[in-house]
Amino acid sequence: MRYTDAPRRRDELLRRLRAAGYLSAAHAAAELDVSEMTIRRDLRQLALDGLAVRVTGGARLPGDGVPFELRTDRFAAQKSAVARAVADLLPPGATVALDSGTTVARLADLLPAGLTVVTHSVPVVAVCATRPDLRLIGLGGVFNPATRSFGGPAVRGALEDIVVDIAVLSATAVGPDGVFCADPYDAETKRALAAAARSVVVAADGSKLAARAPIRFAPLDVVSTLVTDSSADSAAVRSLEAAGVRVSRAAA
């Protein structure tokens, strides 16, 4: 459908931006049947209105994206299903690294006893600290309110001396080109967690297979298993499997 009316078009761009946290100018131009220059003007206006932040190739939501609390509430049933499926993959006595995603935060409540948990996520620390049946290693650094986690050189330095059996990572988007997020600071920590792990599990509800985000933090060959849910698009799942990724779809 062609969006020739500027206010209506900007409303649609803002709707898409709020749904995904990031908007590609090129993709939006193709999907709305207008020129990329028109989309760039629209994004510039949204930025002037304080509704978006311009980034290379498009725009993101202000304040490093969607607030953590709002992301937690999105697709809650799907995220819970993914978290349960990931918990079933964790072997007894394993050392597991958990990142700062909202799906991973749900996993913290479901961890089997006897694990060692390595994390920079404040919500995960808060849950695991109440469980005497887990050993907790917290990674401290500079606090990022957008992700409710610590990051920076201190976290990356600590991970150089830690080896974990499984890193469970969240994502803003997953596709044939890799695994993506919207925060460059968070991307650095995810890469460090993946490098410290013998195996990487990506926990992503089905919406992430249709989403886009600007920063690739891992190619697909880093991922051992993708755990998603039954809402994931079947064609998207097949393309990931064709790329060599083991995909597990949890029932909601």
Identical topology for domains 6-60 and 70-250: no
Q: What architecture does CATH give domain 6-60?
A: Orthogonal Bundle (1.10)
Strands (DSSP E) along the chain, which ranges?
22-24, 53-55, 58-60, 95-98, 116-119, 135-138, 142-144, 149-151, 164-170, 173-175, 178-181, 197-203, 215-218, 225-229, 246-250
Write down the pLDDT at residue 52: 81
CATH topology of domain 70-250: Rossmann fold (3.40.50)
Write down the pLDDT at residue 64: 46
Write down the pLDDT at residue 160: 93
Give the separation between CA 246 and CA 179, rounded to whole angstroms.
Answer: 14
Residue 55 CA neighbour count, 13 Å, CB half: 20
pLDDT values of the chain reduced to their tens digit, one per residue, 252 residues: 566 688 889 988 988 877 666 788 888 998 899 999 999 999 999 888 777 888 778 887 765 455 554 455 467 889 999 999 999 999 999 999 999 988 999 999 999 999 999 999 999 999 999 999 999 999 998 887 777 899 889 999 999 999 999 999 999 899 999 999 877 778 899 999 999 999 999 999 999 998 888 789 999 999 999 999 999 999 999 999 999 999 999 986
Write down the pLDDT at residue 1: 55
Write down the pLDDT at residue 124: 95
Token readout for 95 is 């050392």
Write down the pLDDT at residue 3: 66
The number of residues in the chain equals: 252
Write down the pLDDT at residue 63: 53
pLDDT digits (tens, 9 = 90+) for 48-98: 877 788 877 888 776 545 555 445 546 788 999 999 999 999 999 999 999
14 touches 46 (CB < 8 A) = yes
Token readout for 13 is 């761009």
Sign (positive or negative) of CA dihedral 152, 175, 95, 123: positive
User: Any residues with CB less than 8 A from the CB of 79 and at least 6 apart, and which?
Assistant: 102, 103, 106, 205
Write down the pLDDT at residue 71: 54
Domain locations in the chain as residue ranges: 6-60, 70-250
Give the separation between CA 44 and CA 59, rounded to whole angstroms.
Answer: 9
Write down the pLDDT at residue 51: 77
